[in-house]
Amino acid sequence: MNIAILGCGRWGSFLGWYACRLGHKVLLYGRENSANYQALQSTRSNEYLQVPEAIHLSSSLAESVDFAEWIIISIPAQNLRRLGQEVAVCNPKKKIFILCMKGLEASTGKRLSQVMAEETGSSANMAVWVGPGHVQEFLQGVPNCMVVGSENIEVTKTIVEGFSSDLIRFYYGQDLIGNEIGAASKNVIGIAAGMLDGLGYGSLKGALMARGSREISRLVRAMGGNELTVYGLCHLGDYQATLFSHYSHNRRFGELWVSGQKFDKLAEGVSTLQALRLLSSRHEVALPIAEALNATIFEGRNPKEALLSLFLRTTKFEF
């Protein structure tokens, strides 16, 4: 299978390495002026891996789209609409798009599959690939489970068949809404977990996991998805990698935030917060964890006060 990876950062470069390992023909695309692409061009490596010689590097989007039957996208979520507009002029019909991203469009609250479908004109061949796993651990041979979901079950099955291995075991996603909302919002819960770690309240992460899952499950149900999806790999199943791992960008962002330090890498949960607030208002679903984080990050509220207030709310029945 000819596969193009759009995005050559940490996850995109790993996906290229992984697809090549499985015997696919791979093209890895990056913008010519990006630091990630320039590093790969000059050394064929980054801080995580060595890119195999069999992988073709390209800064031409038209070449990348023309080359591939399957197009994997792994870029910051807020850049997807712009990329979708550029892809749309490259005759992408009949291509299968796989979004290996976890986020929501901050300005609209839209799921990433919706954003990409709007720009390319079709959702029939659109899939998402989400779930737990860190590049560093995969490269050490540590296996994990992930999920692929699409509105077209045949597309889902084809992708799973093409990427299953002893390193990643896939499940078929049955709820695109739940998979996308769950995957995006677990990054928000990860920021809260990092703040608790930074404040020395790590033991509260158990309660955070339980209440965070309930909070997001209510939103998924209100949006027309299956609330049980949140308890699968897209959300709860990804908590260890996001709420506890030292590799987690979102957890690290929260940990540094409470000590007044800046995190210099992408933490998708920050922009997802804004999208969740839109969805909370639109669907009339209370999201107290998201509101507390928003007050801390965007409104200047003391993080200790904001987070501890969540655990001092009025007593009520758990379910």
Hey, where are the domains in the chain? 2-173, 183-310
With beta carbons less than 8 A apart as the criterion, state whether 212 and 242 touch: no
Distance CA 177, CA 221 (A): 9
The domain 2-173 is placed in CATH, from the list 3.10.50.40, 3.40.47.10, 3.40.50.720, 3.30.230.10, at 3.40.50.720
CA distance 9 to 38: 11
Does 186 participate in catalysis according to the annotation?
yes
Task: Measure Cα distances from 173 to 146, 212, 261, 274 in Å.
Answer: 9, 21, 38, 26
The DSSP string of 91-128 is: --TTPEEEE----B-TTT--BHHHHHHHHHS--TTEEE
Return d(Cα 24, Cα 14) in angstroms, integer: 14
Query: Using one digit for the tens of pLDDT, what is the confidence trace for 272-309?
Result: 999 999 999 999 999 999 999 999 999 999 999 999 88
Q: Taking 80 as the threshold, does the pLDDT of residue 315 lie above it?
A: no
Helices (H) and strands (E) in the chain, counts: 14, 8
Same topology for domains 2-173 and 183-310, yes or no? Answer: no
Whether the predicted pLDDT of 311 surpasses 90? no
Q: Which residues contact 311 (CB under 8 A, 6 or more apart)?
A: 204, 207
Question: What is the arithmetic mean of pLDDT over 253-270?
Answer: 94
- CA angle 188/227/215 to nearest 5° reads 40
The catalytically annotated residue of 95, 102, 110, 186 is 186
Given a cut of 80, is residue 316 above it in pLDDT? Answer: no
Q: In whole angstroms, what is the distance from residue 279 CA to residue 219 CA?
A: 8
Q: What's the predicted TM-score (pTM) here?
A: 0.95
Q: Does domain 183-310 have CATH number 3.40.50.300?
A: no
- Note the pLDDT tens digit of each residue in 186-228: 999 999 999 999 999 999 999 999 999 999 999 999 999 999 9
The packing angle between helices 288-299 and 176-199, to 10°, is 60
